Amino acid sequence: MKFDILTLFTGMFSGPFDESIIKRAKDKQLIDISLHNIRDYATDRHQTADDAPYGGGAGMVMKAEPLAACIESVKARQPNSTVVLTSPQGRPLTHRVASELAQKDGLIIVCGRYEGIDERIRTLYAEDDISLGDFVLSGGEIAAMAIVDATTRLIPGVLGSGESADFDSFGDGLLEHPQYTRPPVFMGLEVPETLLSGNHELIRRWRRKESLRKTRLLRPDLLCEIELSKEDIRMLKEIAMEDAGGL
């Protein structure tokens, strides 16, 4: 999958994209990431990429001309890629959204800065608009990193044999169950006996129930968005009784 990132600060990406899963995916040629400095497409000698907003107000706005030239240059080389803006007004980045993006041929991610971009860029070029949540970052670079990371994990072949996005939190619509590793006792706290039993069916049921328990406690809204099995419903009833002190 091809990622093209349009930014005023290309140096911000050197660390996150050269480590861990992203690096492995690049090494295996499952993804390709190119950074494009928007200032390189400005036509004046100062490479101006921002200007004061019409109507007045604080801050600066990213200019349309260099950004449009940058998008068109990349789009000419990657005609099947989808143009994605990063901004607080976009739809929240979720596992479901990342799954949609992972099906694309490529993403052209535009990193907003300052007070935002000239609205005409959104009108002319944007095919999607992504936000990390209801807060404001200094720019869209961190959002772009999150989009690349969340999307890359879902590309077939990226995760190794011992890893699977299917069992991550939100992979099946629920939060992930608690995880433990050696030692079996740490500071007086023991690993649940079921996980040491070697009984795969008991372990599966324990993990499912604890996933439901954690989701019910921390993100009950998610339970309304997935199709629960009869086993899930039975487990939720058991959890409710346990929490109420009935078991």
| Active site residues per annotation | 88, 115, 153, 168
- Tokens (6 digits) for 65: 């001309």
Residue closest to 83 by CA, chosen among 96, 61, 67, 99: 67
Q: Cis peptide before 183, with omega less than 30 degrees from 0?
A: yes
In the three-class reduction of DSSP (H, G, I as helix; E, B as strand; rest coil), residue 113 is classed as: strand
E strands within the chain? Answer: 2-7, 32-37, 50-51, 61-62, 82-92, 106-111, 128-131, 185-186, 189-190
In the three-class reduction of DSSP (H, G, I as helix; E, B as strand; rest coil), residue 91 is classed as: strand
